[in-house]
Chain A
């Protein structure tokens, strides 16, 4: 059962507001008193996914959904898509152009970081299809009481 749901729009190549959706997700989790470790993992994974959508995305959407057994974050974009997901999952593999790398992004750590911090990760993508990243974080919402 969905306990809480919220959507955030992500704008393409908008580096001024990049990361704001993840900050809001983090603040929501703080305000409901979620477990600090969960908050840390969600913050990292959501940020990485958000930046991917900003850099490659051509407009995207972040949806957070809290259910009885945990938290789902879906980040969806209309970008070029990932031709080889297995390759993209390797640490250090990146297709980021030089100007993006100059800003400190595009180190090829994004997807691996998401995988490391989430309990389940599904990526639906292909050339010309955009990308949908769905992460799951298990939680019994016991938090800090």
Chain B
């Protein structure tokens, strides 16, 4: 994601289907970048913080978080459609179904062309090896394949942006090549050709709409692997022997493995999968403590793309199928460097756009940010620390941040009430007079007394029964009996609302009893609200 334009909700990889959302906090707590809040009982995603990892899709018990991917209707806009499925699809139907059969089955679904992306994975891998050989100055290079890793780097480790290999990932490499092929072969205009990816994760959809490192994507969209799964299963049954003579699959086990699982390049490669694992490794690279690693193949999903949230097969079975495919087709790439020499010379797969840092900051000005950070620290220490997420933020510190940034009210914390019961925080009457601009009608010399809380009622017997010593009494009654009640109950003072004035004898009696009577122009509701926040905060 690029910082220049703030992200809108419609560019996220997922959206919340509100009728289905119960407002539980499972996704809020699972989100690794703390980008989800509950507002009005529904999950809400903060676009600026989301890195499209789709963890929320996995954990939502209501299935209310929906991946944003293309649909079959999106294909209708184009004269010719071509499909480039992620090699993960080869692992979804068990080892008995061969990659070529899966690609053939997809042609039955009405795509004009289906291509093998594993071949482009091999090409891309060769291109990366060549780039690494040319750039020894980049001590630890990072794979460009997983778009979420690139987002994380922009958001949390901007120092590592130069470590990202500046090559387009295989899907873009492939789409560009396929596009060129179809243009030449069919004499069509670029906009009439729709090239679609089949994706194991919704992050690729974002990478197509707002590609990191590319001016624009060569792909027109991405169908979810779960969307095409059933169609492939059906079409596989109808494949004839004649169909099978067509060979679409062109790679070896290497291409499948790298595309699907993340087997690395030859030497000193670290293969990492999982989000917290990736964060840990990136942290080490940034600190310069990961020595001797030349290249990192990092994918956010557990077990790499095999564990993508849109895959159908359980990832352990997929891994098993993958292993058998690698045995069957060989672990050495089928592609040769000479296949792509001319493309490399052309700069065919280089990225063409700078990746900008996108760090979360409390304020654009460091000094202001420091002040806010201090407030966040202070607020955090006053919150209960249960990390219960009932407030709708994932933990107490995040709620404190939201409060400081004006995104939430402290009182959404249900325990904050209990922690701050009346009497915990005392305030001098004079302070309250100042802050709420009350008019002092009697006993100005008695304003230094402590107020332990507030009681509001216009029924004298109720005040007699329920008020507590030291409280301030909010009422509209101005007759003389209020003084007796206040004195008997040892109240700190009386506030008359709505600019009510006490009867003459009331004022005289209050002065005699040294009881402050104060006057506010606010109605009772507003006055009590202010008193509440004053004494609770």
Binding site for B on A (CB under 8 A): 3-4, 6, 19, 23, 26, 28, 30-34, 36, 40, 43-44, 47, 66, 141-143, 145
Contacts and interface: CB of A to CB of B under 8 A. Distances in A.
Given A4-B370, A40-B159, A47-B287, A32 B377 contact: no
A31 B360 contact: yes
Contacts, number: 53
A62 B373 CA distance: 18
B159 A36 contact: yes
A33 B374 contact: no
Nearest to A34: B366
A33 B364 contact: yes
Given A23-B283, A33-B361, A36-B159, A141 B366 contact: yes
Nearest to B376: A31
Contact of A43 (B287, B362, B364): B287
A36 B158 contact: yes
A128 B176 CA distance: 69
Given A33-B359, A36-B158, A40-B159, A28 B365 contact: no
Contacts of A23: 283, 287
Contacts of B363: 32-33
A6 B377 contact: yes
Nearest to B361: A33
A32 B287 contact: no
Interface in B142-165: 156, 158-159
B371 interface: yes
A79 B47 CA distance: 48
B266 interface: no
Nearest 7 CB-CB pairings of A with B: A32-B369, A143-B366, A141-B366, A4-B370, A3-B370, A32-B366, A33-B361
B283 A31 contact: no
7 contacts: A3-B374, A30-B359, A31-B359, A32-B362, A34-B366, A36-B159, A43-B287
Nearest to A141: B366
Interface size grouping (class) on chain B: 20 to 34
Contact of B369 (A19, A26, A31, A43): A31
Contacts of A47: 287
B133 interface: no
A126 to B, nearest CB: 31
Nearest to B157: A30
Interface string B368-410: 0111011001000000000000000000000000000000000
A33 B158 contact: no
Given A30-B156, A34-B366, A145-B364, 11 more contacts: A3-B370, A19-B287, A28-B373, A31-B360, A32-B363, A32-B373, A33-B366, A36-B158, A40-B159, A44-B287, A44-B288
A31 B373 contact: yes
A66 B287 contact: no
Contacts of B365: 33, 143, 145
Contacts of B374: 3-4
A51 to B, nearest CB: 11
Nearest to A6: B377
Contacts of B367: 3, 141
B277 to A, nearest CB: 16
A66 B377 contact: no
Contacts of A142: 366
Contacts of A32: 361-363, 366, 369-370, 373
B377 A33 contact: no
A4 B373 contact: yes
Contacts of B364: 33, 145
A33 B287 CA distance: 18
B446 to A, nearest CB: 38
Nearest to B283: A23
A36 B159 CA distance: 8
B13 to A, nearest CB: 24
Contacts of A6: 377
Contacts of A3: 367, 370-371, 374
